[in-house]
Amino acid sequence: MAGRWKNDLNWSEVTPKAAFMNRRQLIAGATALAAGGIAGPALAKLGAKPSEYSTDATPNTLEEISSYNNFYEFGTGKNDPAEYADALTIDPWTVKIDGMVDKPGDYSFDDIMSGVSLEERIYRFRCVEAWSMVVPWVGFELADLLNRVGVQPGAKYVAFETLYRPEEMWAQKRPILEWPYREGLRLDEAMNPLTILSTGLYDEPMPKQNGAPLRLVVPWKYGFKSIKSIVRISLVEEMPPTSWNMANAREYGFYSNVNPQVDHPRWSQASERQVGGGLFAKRIPTLMFNGYESEVAGMYADMDLSKFY
Amino acid sequence: MTLTDRINAAFRAVPTWLLYIVAPLPAAWWFYLGFTGGLGVEPIKALEHEVGLFALQLLIAGLAVTPLRRFAGINLIKHRRAIGVVAFFYVLLHLLIWLVLDMSLLWSQIAADLVKRWYIIIGMASFVLLIPLAVTSNNWSVRKLGPAWRKLHKLVYAACLLGGLHFVILSKGFQLEPMLYMAAVVGLVALRMVPKRSRMMARA
Protein backbone atom coordinates (compact mmCIF):
# COMPACT_ATOMS: atom_id res chain seq x y z
CA MET A 1 0.00 0.00 0.00
CA ALA A 2 2.75 2.46 0.90
CA GLY A 3 4.97 4.45 -1.42
CA ARG A 4 2.51 4.73 -4.24
CA TRP A 5 3.53 6.64 -7.33
CA LYS A 6 1.18 9.55 -7.95
CA ASN A 7 -0.18 9.97 -11.40
CA ASP A 8 -1.45 13.25 -12.75
CA LEU A 9 -2.66 11.84 -16.03
CA ASN A 10 -6.28 10.88 -16.48
CA TRP A 11 -7.43 7.52 -17.67
CA SER A 12 -9.10 9.24 -20.61
CA GLU A 13 -5.69 10.42 -21.77
CA VAL A 14 -4.56 6.91 -22.56
CA THR A 15 -4.43 6.66 -26.32
CA PRO A 16 -7.21 4.34 -27.44
CA LYS A 17 -5.78 1.04 -28.50
CA ALA A 18 -7.55 1.14 -31.84
CA ALA A 19 -5.93 4.48 -32.66
CA PHE A 20 -2.33 3.52 -32.12
CA MET A 21 -2.81 -0.04 -33.28
CA ASN A 22 -3.90 1.16 -36.67
CA ARG A 23 -0.81 3.27 -37.11
CA ARG A 24 1.61 0.75 -35.66
CA GLN A 25 0.09 -2.16 -37.44
CA LEU A 26 0.58 -0.38 -40.72
CA ILE A 27 4.22 0.17 -39.88
CA ALA A 28 4.64 -3.29 -38.40
CA GLY A 29 2.81 -4.82 -41.32
CA ALA A 30 5.05 -3.04 -43.78
CA THR A 31 8.13 -4.12 -41.85
CA ALA A 32 6.86 -7.66 -41.62
CA LEU A 33 6.22 -7.75 -45.32
CA ALA A 34 9.69 -6.42 -45.96
CA ALA A 35 11.27 -8.90 -43.58
CA GLY A 36 9.02 -11.71 -44.72
CA GLY A 37 8.20 -12.48 -41.09
CA ILE A 38 5.32 -12.03 -38.67
CA ALA A 39 5.21 -8.95 -36.48
CA GLY A 40 3.30 -9.04 -33.21
CA PRO A 41 0.96 -6.13 -32.45
CA ALA A 42 2.33 -3.41 -30.22
CA LEU A 43 0.84 -3.15 -26.74
CA ALA A 44 -0.47 -0.14 -24.82
CA LYS A 45 1.53 -0.21 -21.63
CA LEU A 46 -0.19 0.96 -18.46
CA GLY A 47 3.08 0.98 -16.56
CA ALA A 48 1.85 -1.14 -13.67
CA LYS A 49 4.45 -1.84 -11.01
CA PRO A 50 5.29 -5.38 -9.96
CA SER A 51 3.85 -6.56 -6.67
CA GLU A 52 5.06 -8.86 -3.92
CA TYR A 53 1.65 -10.49 -4.00
CA SER A 54 2.23 -11.92 -7.47
CA THR A 55 2.73 -15.63 -7.92
CA ASP A 56 5.79 -17.02 -9.71
CA ALA A 57 3.61 -19.26 -11.87
CA THR A 58 3.66 -18.62 -15.61
CA PRO A 59 0.62 -16.62 -16.67
CA ASN A 60 -1.83 -17.85 -19.27
CA THR A 61 -1.62 -16.10 -22.61
CA LEU A 62 -3.76 -13.06 -23.32
CA GLU A 63 -5.60 -15.11 -25.92
CA GLU A 64 -6.48 -17.78 -23.36
CA ILE A 65 -7.55 -15.24 -20.75
CA SER A 66 -9.68 -13.28 -23.19
CA SER A 67 -11.32 -16.13 -25.14
CA TYR A 68 -12.52 -18.41 -22.33
CA ASN A 69 -14.84 -16.41 -20.11
CA ASN A 70 -17.94 -16.72 -18.02
CA PHE A 71 -19.74 -13.41 -18.49
CA TYR A 72 -23.36 -14.54 -18.80
CA GLU A 73 -24.54 -11.04 -19.76
CA PHE A 74 -23.07 -11.89 -23.18
CA GLY A 75 -24.20 -15.54 -23.35
CA THR A 76 -23.44 -18.78 -21.56
CA GLY A 77 -20.89 -20.16 -24.05
CA LYS A 78 -17.25 -19.72 -23.05
CA ASN A 79 -16.50 -17.89 -26.29
CA ASP A 80 -19.68 -15.76 -26.25
CA PRO A 81 -18.18 -12.88 -24.24
CA ALA A 82 -15.26 -12.58 -26.68
CA GLU A 83 -17.77 -12.58 -29.51
CA TYR A 84 -20.37 -10.16 -28.16
CA ALA A 85 -18.70 -7.90 -25.58
CA ASP A 86 -17.66 -5.47 -28.31
CA ALA A 87 -21.16 -3.98 -28.08
CA LEU A 88 -20.47 -2.68 -24.57
CA THR A 89 -19.88 1.07 -24.17
CA ILE A 90 -17.29 1.64 -21.45
CA ASP A 91 -16.69 5.34 -21.96
CA PRO A 92 -18.30 7.21 -20.25
CA TRP A 93 -18.41 5.00 -17.17
CA THR A 94 -19.80 5.92 -13.77
CA VAL A 95 -19.68 4.01 -10.53
CA LYS A 96 -22.22 4.87 -7.86
CA ILE A 97 -20.68 4.56 -4.42
CA ASP A 98 -23.34 4.70 -1.75
CA GLY A 99 -24.55 3.36 1.56
CA MET A 100 -22.53 3.85 4.72
CA VAL A 101 -19.76 6.03 3.31
CA ASP A 102 -18.61 9.57 4.11
CA LYS A 103 -18.41 10.65 0.49
CA PRO A 104 -21.16 8.95 -1.46
CA GLY A 105 -21.69 9.91 -5.08
CA ASP A 106 -21.42 9.07 -8.74
CA TYR A 107 -17.75 8.70 -9.51
CA SER A 108 -16.55 8.78 -13.09
CA PHE A 109 -13.98 6.21 -14.09
CA ASP A 110 -11.37 8.98 -14.31
CA ASP A 111 -12.24 10.08 -10.74
CA ILE A 112 -11.69 6.57 -9.52
CA MET A 113 -8.42 6.18 -11.38
CA SER A 114 -6.94 9.49 -10.28
CA GLY A 115 -4.72 9.03 -7.30
CA VAL A 116 -4.34 5.29 -7.58
CA SER A 117 -1.10 3.66 -8.55
CA LEU A 118 -1.49 0.60 -10.68
CA GLU A 119 0.17 -2.66 -9.78
CA GLU A 120 0.51 -5.86 -11.68
CA ARG A 121 -0.92 -8.70 -9.63
CA ILE A 122 -0.27 -12.12 -11.11
CA TYR A 123 -2.89 -14.25 -9.39
CA ARG A 124 -4.14 -17.78 -9.66
CA PHE A 125 -7.78 -17.72 -10.78
CA ARG A 126 -10.00 -20.71 -9.95
CA CYS A 127 -13.46 -21.14 -11.45
CA VAL A 128 -16.12 -23.12 -9.58
CA GLU A 129 -16.36 -25.23 -12.76
CA ALA A 130 -12.92 -26.66 -11.86
CA TRP A 131 -10.81 -24.88 -14.45
CA SER A 132 -8.12 -22.40 -13.56
CA MET A 133 -5.77 -19.84 -15.04
CA VAL A 134 -2.90 -17.64 -13.96
CA VAL A 135 -3.75 -14.02 -14.77
CA PRO A 136 -1.52 -10.92 -14.76
CA TRP A 137 -4.14 -8.42 -13.61
CA VAL A 138 -3.47 -4.70 -13.45
CA GLY A 139 -5.27 -2.89 -10.69
CA PHE A 140 -5.26 -1.29 -7.26
CA GLU A 141 -6.37 -2.40 -3.85
CA LEU A 142 -10.08 -2.04 -3.18
CA ALA A 143 -9.08 -0.81 0.28
CA ASP A 144 -7.55 2.32 -1.32
CA LEU A 145 -10.86 3.30 -2.85
CA LEU A 146 -12.85 2.42 0.26
CA ASN A 147 -10.52 4.50 2.43
CA ARG A 148 -10.84 7.38 0.03
CA VAL A 149 -14.62 7.45 0.22
CA GLY A 150 -14.58 6.82 3.98
CA VAL A 151 -16.24 3.70 5.34
CA GLN A 152 -18.57 4.51 8.24
CA PRO A 153 -18.36 2.47 11.46
CA GLY A 154 -21.58 0.48 11.07
CA ALA A 155 -20.71 -0.94 7.62
CA LYS A 156 -20.05 -4.67 7.65
CA TYR A 157 -20.33 -5.71 4.00
CA VAL A 158 -19.60 -4.36 0.53
CA ALA A 159 -22.15 -5.01 -2.21
CA PHE A 160 -21.31 -4.76 -5.91
CA GLU A 161 -23.45 -4.54 -9.04
CA THR A 162 -22.66 -5.08 -12.69
CA LEU A 163 -24.04 -2.78 -15.37
CA TYR A 164 -27.59 -3.58 -16.51
CA ARG A 165 -27.92 -2.54 -20.15
CA PRO A 166 -29.74 -5.24 -22.13
CA GLU A 167 -29.45 -3.32 -25.40
CA GLU A 168 -25.68 -3.85 -25.21
CA MET A 169 -25.59 -7.02 -23.11
CA TRP A 170 -27.97 -9.15 -25.12
CA ALA A 171 -28.23 -12.11 -22.77
CA GLN A 172 -29.69 -9.86 -20.06
CA LYS A 173 -32.89 -10.26 -22.09
CA ARG A 174 -32.86 -13.92 -21.04
CA PRO A 175 -33.74 -15.05 -17.53
CA ILE A 176 -30.45 -16.94 -17.05
CA LEU A 177 -29.95 -15.14 -13.74
CA GLU A 178 -31.79 -12.33 -12.01
CA TRP A 179 -30.12 -9.22 -13.46
CA PRO A 180 -28.19 -7.15 -12.66
CA TYR A 181 -25.42 -9.45 -11.49
CA ARG A 182 -24.68 -8.90 -7.82
CA GLU A 183 -21.81 -9.85 -5.59
CA GLY A 184 -20.62 -9.06 -2.11
CA LEU A 185 -17.77 -9.31 0.36
CA ARG A 186 -17.48 -9.02 4.10
CA LEU A 187 -15.70 -5.77 4.96
CA ASP A 188 -12.51 -7.48 6.16
CA GLU A 189 -12.39 -9.47 2.90
CA ALA A 190 -12.86 -6.26 0.92
CA MET A 191 -10.06 -4.55 2.86
CA ASN A 192 -7.63 -7.46 2.45
CA PRO A 193 -4.62 -6.34 0.42
CA LEU A 194 -5.12 -9.24 -2.01
CA THR A 195 -8.52 -7.86 -3.04
CA ILE A 196 -8.15 -5.57 -6.02
CA LEU A 197 -10.22 -3.59 -8.46
CA SER A 198 -8.71 -4.47 -11.78
CA THR A 199 -8.60 -2.30 -14.89
CA GLY A 200 -6.23 -4.23 -17.11
CA LEU A 201 -4.44 -7.37 -18.15
CA TYR A 202 -0.88 -7.79 -19.34
CA ASP A 203 -0.29 -4.11 -18.69
CA GLU A 204 -2.99 -3.20 -21.20
CA PRO A 205 -6.52 -1.86 -20.62
CA MET A 206 -8.99 -4.58 -19.69
CA PRO A 207 -10.63 -6.43 -22.61
CA LYS A 208 -14.39 -5.96 -22.47
CA GLN A 209 -15.03 -9.70 -22.15
CA ASN A 210 -12.95 -9.72 -18.97
CA GLY A 211 -15.08 -7.06 -17.29
CA ALA A 212 -13.91 -3.69 -18.57
CA PRO A 213 -13.48 -1.07 -17.43
CA LEU A 214 -13.47 -2.02 -13.76
CA ARG A 215 -13.85 -5.41 -12.11
CA LEU A 216 -13.21 -7.04 -8.80
CA VAL A 217 -10.57 -9.75 -8.32
CA VAL A 218 -10.65 -11.86 -5.16
CA PRO A 219 -8.09 -14.59 -5.83
CA TRP A 220 -8.91 -16.96 -2.94
CA LYS A 221 -12.58 -17.22 -3.93
CA TYR A 222 -14.24 -18.94 -6.88
CA GLY A 223 -14.20 -16.79 -9.98
CA PHE A 224 -17.88 -15.83 -9.92
CA LYS A 225 -17.21 -13.69 -6.82
CA SER A 226 -14.92 -11.48 -8.93
CA ILE A 227 -17.74 -9.39 -10.41
CA LYS A 228 -17.19 -7.65 -13.74
CA SER A 229 -18.02 -4.23 -15.21
CA ILE A 230 -18.96 -2.71 -11.85
CA VAL A 231 -21.34 0.27 -11.72
CA ARG A 232 -22.24 0.29 -8.04
CA ILE A 233 -20.42 -0.26 -4.79
CA SER A 234 -22.49 -0.04 -1.60
CA LEU A 235 -21.33 -0.24 1.99
CA VAL A 236 -24.04 -2.01 3.96
CA GLU A 237 -24.75 -3.45 7.37
CA GLU A 238 -26.47 -6.70 6.32
CA MET A 239 -25.04 -9.49 4.19
CA PRO A 240 -26.09 -8.48 0.65
CA PRO A 241 -27.87 -10.84 -1.77
CA THR A 242 -25.52 -12.30 -4.40
CA SER A 243 -26.57 -13.58 -7.83
CA TRP A 244 -25.52 -17.23 -7.77
CA ASN A 245 -26.65 -17.60 -4.19
CA MET A 246 -30.05 -16.22 -5.22
CA ALA A 247 -30.20 -18.70 -8.11
CA ASN A 248 -29.15 -21.75 -6.09
CA ALA A 249 -28.32 -21.24 -2.42
CA ARG A 250 -27.43 -24.88 -1.84
CA GLU A 251 -24.66 -24.76 -4.43
CA TYR A 252 -23.31 -21.24 -4.05
CA GLY A 253 -22.64 -19.86 -0.61
CA PHE A 254 -21.94 -16.21 0.17
CA TYR A 255 -18.30 -16.89 1.00
CA SER A 256 -17.44 -19.32 -1.83
CA ASN A 257 -13.82 -19.61 -0.78
CA VAL A 258 -11.82 -22.05 -2.87
CA ASN A 259 -11.81 -25.15 -0.72
CA PRO A 260 -10.89 -28.63 -1.98
CA GLN A 261 -12.27 -30.21 1.18
CA VAL A 262 -15.77 -28.81 1.01
CA ASP A 263 -17.65 -30.47 -1.78
CA HIS A 264 -19.79 -28.48 -4.08
CA PRO A 265 -22.94 -30.52 -4.84
CA ARG A 266 -22.37 -30.22 -8.56
CA TRP A 267 -18.62 -30.34 -9.08
CA SER A 268 -15.94 -31.94 -7.00
CA GLN A 269 -13.55 -29.20 -5.97
CA ALA A 270 -10.66 -31.53 -5.20
CA SER A 271 -8.83 -30.89 -8.44
CA GLU A 272 -8.71 -28.50 -11.35
CA ARG A 273 -7.31 -28.22 -14.84
CA GLN A 274 -5.36 -25.19 -15.95
CA VAL A 275 -6.66 -23.81 -19.22
CA GLY A 276 -4.21 -23.92 -22.10
CA GLY A 277 -2.78 -27.42 -21.69
CA GLY A 278 -4.45 -28.83 -24.77
CA LEU A 279 -6.27 -32.11 -25.23
CA PHE A 280 -4.14 -34.08 -22.76
CA ALA A 281 -3.84 -31.57 -19.92
CA LYS A 282 -3.90 -33.35 -16.57
CA ARG A 283 -5.81 -32.32 -13.48
CA ILE A 284 -3.83 -30.87 -10.60
CA PRO A 285 -4.88 -30.76 -6.94
CA THR A 286 -6.75 -27.64 -5.87
CA LEU A 287 -5.11 -25.69 -3.06
CA MET A 288 -6.88 -24.47 0.07
CA PHE A 289 -7.96 -20.85 -0.48
CA ASN A 290 -6.51 -21.28 -3.97
CA GLY A 291 -3.00 -21.15 -2.52
CA TYR A 292 -3.59 -17.94 -0.53
CA GLU A 293 -4.08 -19.69 2.79
CA SER A 294 -1.34 -17.84 4.66
CA GLU A 295 -2.79 -14.47 3.63
CA VAL A 296 -6.47 -15.11 4.25
CA ALA A 297 -7.07 -18.11 6.53
CA GLY A 298 -6.98 -15.87 9.60
CA MET A 299 -10.20 -14.17 8.54
CA TYR A 300 -12.08 -17.46 8.83
CA ALA A 301 -10.30 -18.88 11.88
CA ASP A 302 -13.40 -19.47 14.00
CA MET A 303 -15.79 -20.36 11.20
CA ASP A 304 -16.96 -23.83 10.21
CA LEU A 305 -16.13 -23.66 6.49
CA SER A 306 -18.34 -26.63 5.66
CA LYS A 307 -21.28 -24.58 6.97
CA PHE A 308 -20.19 -21.17 5.70
CA TYR A 309 -19.18 -22.27 2.22
CA MET B 1 -46.24 -40.20 -56.52
CA THR B 2 -46.72 -37.94 -53.50
CA LEU B 3 -43.93 -36.04 -51.78
CA THR B 4 -44.01 -38.49 -48.89
CA ASP B 5 -43.59 -41.40 -51.30
CA ARG B 6 -40.64 -39.69 -52.91
CA ILE B 7 -39.01 -39.02 -49.52
CA ASN B 8 -39.56 -42.61 -48.49
CA ALA B 9 -38.14 -43.92 -51.74
CA ALA B 10 -35.07 -41.72 -51.33
CA PHE B 11 -34.46 -42.97 -47.79
CA ARG B 12 -35.04 -46.58 -48.86
CA ALA B 13 -32.38 -46.20 -51.53
CA VAL B 14 -29.76 -45.29 -48.89
CA PRO B 15 -27.96 -48.49 -47.86
CA THR B 16 -27.81 -49.09 -44.10
CA TRP B 17 -24.06 -49.58 -44.06
CA LEU B 18 -23.57 -46.03 -45.31
CA LEU B 19 -24.65 -44.66 -41.93
CA TYR B 20 -22.00 -46.70 -40.14
CA ILE B 21 -19.35 -45.37 -42.53
CA VAL B 22 -20.41 -41.75 -42.09
CA ALA B 23 -21.07 -41.96 -38.34
CA PRO B 24 -17.47 -41.66 -37.05
CA LEU B 25 -16.75 -38.59 -39.20
CA PRO B 26 -18.09 -35.94 -36.76
CA ALA B 27 -16.06 -37.45 -33.91
CA ALA B 28 -12.94 -37.55 -36.08
CA TRP B 29 -13.53 -33.93 -37.06
CA TRP B 30 -13.91 -32.78 -33.42
CA PHE B 31 -10.76 -34.64 -32.36
CA TYR B 32 -8.91 -33.05 -35.26
CA LEU B 33 -10.17 -29.60 -34.19
CA GLY B 34 -9.19 -30.36 -30.60
CA PHE B 35 -5.64 -31.18 -31.64
CA THR B 36 -5.27 -28.14 -33.86
CA GLY B 37 -6.77 -25.46 -31.62
CA GLY B 38 -10.12 -25.30 -33.41
CA LEU B 39 -12.05 -26.05 -30.21
CA GLY B 40 -10.67 -23.08 -28.32
CA VAL B 41 -8.26 -22.92 -25.42
CA GLU B 42 -9.98 -25.62 -23.33
CA PRO B 43 -10.50 -28.38 -25.92
CA ILE B 44 -11.33 -31.14 -23.42
CA LYS B 45 -14.56 -29.56 -22.19
CA ALA B 46 -15.46 -28.49 -25.72
CA LEU B 47 -14.95 -32.01 -27.08
CA GLU B 48 -16.89 -33.56 -24.20
CA HIS B 49 -19.75 -31.17 -24.81
CA GLU B 50 -19.84 -31.58 -28.62
CA VAL B 51 -19.83 -35.36 -28.44
CA GLY B 52 -22.40 -35.47 -25.64
CA LEU B 53 -24.74 -33.10 -27.44
CA PHE B 54 -24.46 -35.07 -30.67
CA ALA B 55 -25.25 -38.29 -28.77
CA LEU B 56 -28.41 -36.67 -27.41
CA GLN B 57 -29.36 -35.44 -30.89
CA LEU B 58 -28.97 -38.98 -32.25
CA LEU B 59 -31.08 -40.42 -29.43
CA ILE B 60 -33.77 -37.89 -30.27
CA ALA B 61 -33.50 -38.76 -33.97
CA GLY B 62 -34.02 -42.42 -33.07
CA LEU B 63 -37.05 -41.53 -30.96
CA ALA B 64 -38.52 -39.53 -33.83
CA VAL B 65 -38.63 -42.47 -36.26
CA THR B 66 -41.90 -44.02 -35.09
CA PRO B 67 -43.88 -40.77 -34.69
CA LEU B 68 -42.63 -39.63 -38.11
CA ARG B 69 -44.11 -42.74 -39.68
CA ARG B 70 -47.30 -42.66 -37.72
CA PHE B 71 -48.09 -38.96 -37.98
CA ALA B 72 -46.29 -37.89 -41.14
CA GLY B 73 -46.07 -41.11 -43.11
CA ILE B 74 -42.29 -40.82 -43.43
CA ASN B 75 -40.69 -44.22 -43.08
CA LEU B 76 -37.19 -44.41 -41.62
CA ILE B 77 -37.64 -47.75 -39.85
CA LYS B 78 -34.91 -49.28 -42.00
CA HIS B 79 -32.35 -46.92 -40.49
CA ARG B 80 -33.59 -46.86 -36.89
CA ARG B 81 -31.24 -49.55 -35.64
CA ALA B 82 -28.21 -47.85 -37.15
CA ILE B 83 -29.23 -44.51 -35.59
CA GLY B 84 -29.57 -46.20 -32.20
CA VAL B 85 -26.27 -48.06 -32.41
CA VAL B 86 -24.40 -44.93 -33.50
CA ALA B 87 -26.06 -42.97 -30.67
CA PHE B 88 -24.81 -45.60 -28.22
CA PHE B 89 -21.24 -45.27 -29.49
CA TYR B 90 -21.38 -41.49 -29.11
CA VAL B 91 -22.66 -41.86 -25.54
CA LEU B 92 -19.79 -44.29 -24.91
CA LEU B 93 -17.28 -41.86 -26.45
CA HIS B 94 -18.68 -39.04 -24.31
CA LEU B 95 -18.18 -41.23 -21.22
CA LEU B 96 -14.61 -42.14 -22.25
CA ILE B 97 -13.72 -38.49 -22.85
CA TRP B 98 -14.98 -37.72 -19.35
CA LEU B 99 -13.03 -40.59 -17.76
CA VAL B 100 -9.75 -40.28 -19.63
CA LEU B 101 -9.37 -36.68 -20.75
CA ASP B 102 -11.54 -34.72 -18.32
CA MET B 103 -10.96 -36.72 -15.12
CA SER B 104 -7.41 -37.86 -16.00
CA LEU B 105 -8.45 -41.34 -14.76
CA LEU B 106 -8.39 -40.12 -11.15
CA TRP B 107 -10.45 -43.08 -9.97
CA SER B 108 -11.08 -41.93 -6.40
CA GLN B 109 -12.54 -38.64 -7.66
CA ILE B 110 -14.46 -40.45 -10.39
CA ALA B 111 -15.94 -42.82 -7.82
CA ALA B 112 -16.92 -39.89 -5.60
CA ASP B 113 -18.61 -38.18 -8.55
CA LEU B 114 -20.49 -41.37 -9.41
CA VAL B 115 -22.20 -41.45 -6.03
CA LYS B 116 -22.45 -37.73 -5.24
CA ARG B 117 -23.19 -35.72 -8.34
CA TRP B 118 -26.71 -36.13 -9.61
CA TYR B 119 -25.99 -35.17 -13.19
CA ILE B 120 -23.25 -37.80 -13.35
CA ILE B 121 -25.39 -40.47 -11.69
CA ILE B 122 -28.22 -39.74 -14.14
CA GLY B 123 -25.93 -39.66 -17.16
CA MET B 124 -24.35 -42.94 -16.13
CA ALA B 125 -27.77 -44.52 -15.58
CA SER B 126 -28.73 -43.53 -19.11
CA PHE B 127 -25.57 -45.17 -20.46
CA VAL B 128 -26.14 -48.38 -18.48
CA LEU B 129 -29.71 -48.64 -19.79
CA LEU B 130 -28.42 -48.34 -23.34
CA ILE B 131 -25.95 -51.25 -23.01
CA PRO B 132 -28.47 -54.12 -23.33
CA LEU B 133 -30.13 -52.29 -26.21
CA ALA B 134 -26.86 -51.96 -28.12
CA VAL B 135 -25.96 -55.58 -27.43
CA THR B 136 -29.32 -56.82 -28.78
CA SER B 137 -29.37 -54.58 -31.84
CA ASN B 138 -28.93 -57.43 -34.32
CA ASN B 139 -31.21 -59.79 -36.25
CA TRP B 140 -30.18 -62.82 -34.21
CA SER B 141 -31.26 -61.15 -30.93
CA VAL B 142 -34.56 -60.02 -32.42
CA ARG B 143 -35.36 -63.61 -33.45
CA LYS B 144 -34.05 -65.15 -30.25
CA LEU B 145 -35.89 -62.76 -27.90
CA GLY B 146 -39.14 -62.62 -29.86
CA PRO B 147 -41.78 -60.40 -28.21
CA ALA B 148 -39.43 -59.75 -25.27
CA TRP B 149 -37.20 -57.76 -27.64
CA ARG B 150 -39.84 -55.08 -28.14
CA LYS B 151 -40.39 -54.85 -24.39
CA LEU B 152 -36.66 -54.61 -23.71
CA HIS B 153 -36.18 -51.86 -26.23
CA LYS B 154 -38.79 -49.67 -24.53
CA LEU B 155 -35.90 -48.94 -22.13
CA VAL B 156 -34.78 -46.41 -24.70
CA TYR B 157 -37.53 -44.05 -23.48
CA ALA B 158 -36.03 -44.04 -19.98
CA ALA B 159 -32.49 -43.71 -21.36
CA CYS B 160 -33.48 -40.68 -23.46
CA LEU B 161 -35.36 -39.01 -20.61
CA LEU B 162 -32.33 -39.48 -18.35
CA GLY B 163 -30.03 -38.17 -21.08
CA GLY B 164 -32.13 -35.02 -21.46
CA LEU B 165 -32.29 -34.58 -17.69
CA HIS B 166 -28.50 -34.95 -17.48
CA PHE B 167 -28.14 -31.97 -19.83
CA VAL B 168 -30.74 -29.89 -17.96
CA ILE B 169 -29.24 -30.28 -14.51
CA LEU B 170 -25.61 -29.86 -15.50
CA SER B 171 -26.42 -26.43 -16.96
CA LYS B 172 -25.89 -23.45 -14.71
CA GLY B 173 -28.60 -20.84 -14.23
CA PHE B 174 -31.79 -20.92 -16.27
CA GLN B 175 -30.83 -21.89 -19.81
CA LEU B 176 -33.14 -22.41 -22.75
CA GLU B 177 -31.16 -24.88 -24.87
CA PRO B 178 -31.20 -27.88 -22.50
CA MET B 179 -34.89 -27.25 -21.80
CA LEU B 180 -35.65 -27.46 -25.52
CA TYR B 181 -33.84 -30.80 -25.78
CA MET B 182 -35.71 -32.07 -22.75
CA ALA B 183 -39.00 -30.89 -24.25
CA ALA B 184 -38.21 -32.73 -27.49
CA VAL B 185 -37.56 -35.98 -25.62
CA VAL B 186 -40.66 -35.64 -23.45
CA GLY B 187 -42.77 -34.76 -26.49
CA LEU B 188 -41.55 -37.72 -28.54
CA VAL B 189 -42.06 -40.17 -25.67
CA ALA B 190 -45.52 -38.70 -25.00
CA LEU B 191 -46.54 -39.25 -28.64
CA ARG B 192 -46.31 -42.99 -27.94
CA MET B 193 -49.22 -42.59 -25.57
CA VAL B 194 -51.60 -41.12 -28.14
CA PRO B 195 -54.24 -43.87 -28.44
CA LYS B 196 -54.65 -45.22 -31.94
CA ARG B 197 -58.45 -45.20 -31.85
CA SER B 198 -58.96 -41.55 -30.95
CA ARG B 199 -56.76 -40.63 -33.88
CA MET B 200 -58.99 -42.53 -36.26
CA MET B 201 -62.04 -40.89 -34.75
CA ALA B 202 -60.49 -37.47 -35.15
CA ARG B 203 -59.95 -38.19 -38.81
CA ALA B 204 -63.48 -39.39 -39.38
DSSP letters for A214-256: -EEE-TTB-GGGS--SEEEEEEESSPPP-HHHHH-TTT--SS-
> How are beta strands A94-99 and A230-236 bridged, if at all?
parallel
Distance CA B143, CA B147 (A): 9
Cα–Cα distance, B116 to B110 (Å, whole number): 10
Low-confidence ranges of chain A (pLDDT < 70): 1-44
How confident is the model at residue B2, as a pLDDT? 86
* A-to-B residue pairs, Cβ atoms closer than 8 angstroms: 72
3-state SS of A28-52 is HHHHHHHHCCCCCCCCCCCCCEECC
In this predicted structure, what is the pLDDT of residue A11?
60
Question: Could you tell me if A163 and A169 are in contact, meaning their C-beta atoms sit under 8 angstroms apart?
Answer: yes
Judged by a CB distance cut-off of 8 A, whether residue A176 touches chain B is: yes
Out of B106, B113, B119, closest to residue A283 by CB: B106
CA-to-CA separations, B199 to A44, A264, B191, B194, B196, in angstroms, rounded: 70, 49, 12, 8, 5
How close is the nearest chain A Cα to the Cα of B49, in Å? Answer: 11
Question: Looking at residue A262, what is its pLDDT?
Answer: 85
Q: Which residues of chain B have pLDDT under 50?
A: 204
Long-range contacts, stretch A13-20, CB < 8 angstroms, 24+ apart: A14/A44, A14/A46, A14/A205, A15/A44, A17/A44, A17/A204, A17/A205, A20/A44
Give the chain B residue whose CA is nearest to the CA of A132.
Answer: B42
Contact A206, A213 (CB under 8 A): yes
Query: Residue A32's pLDDT is what?
Result: 45
- Chain B CB contacts of A268 below 8 Å: 109, 112-113, 116-117
CB nearest B173 (choices: A64, A247, A271):
A247
Among A67, A177, A267, beta carbon nearest to B41: A67
ipTM: 0.86
* Terminal Cα distance for chain A, rounded: 29
What pLDDT score does B89 carry?
98
Q: How many CB atoms lie within 10 A of CB A199?
A: 24
CB contact B38 to A (< 8 Å): no
pLDDT at position A31:
46
The partner residue sitting opposite B41, judged by closest CB among A72, A175, A276, is A276
Element (H, E) at A304: none
What is the structure's pLDDT at A19?
58
Q: Which of residues 77-136 of B touch A (CB under 8 A)?
A: 101-104, 106, 109, 112-113, 116-119
Longest dimension (CA), chain A: 66
- The pTM is what? 0.86
In contact, B66 and B192? CB cutoff 8 Å: yes
**Tell me, what's the pLDDT at A306?**
86
Distance CA B88, CA B58 (A): 9
Q: Which amino acid is at B143?
A: R
Residue A174's pLDDT is what? Answer: 94
* pLDDT at res. A30: 47
C-alpha angle A159/A163/A167, rounded to 5°? Answer: 155
What is the enclosing helix (H) or strand (E) of A263? none
Q: Which of A221, A213, A161 is nearest to A195 (CA)?
A: A221
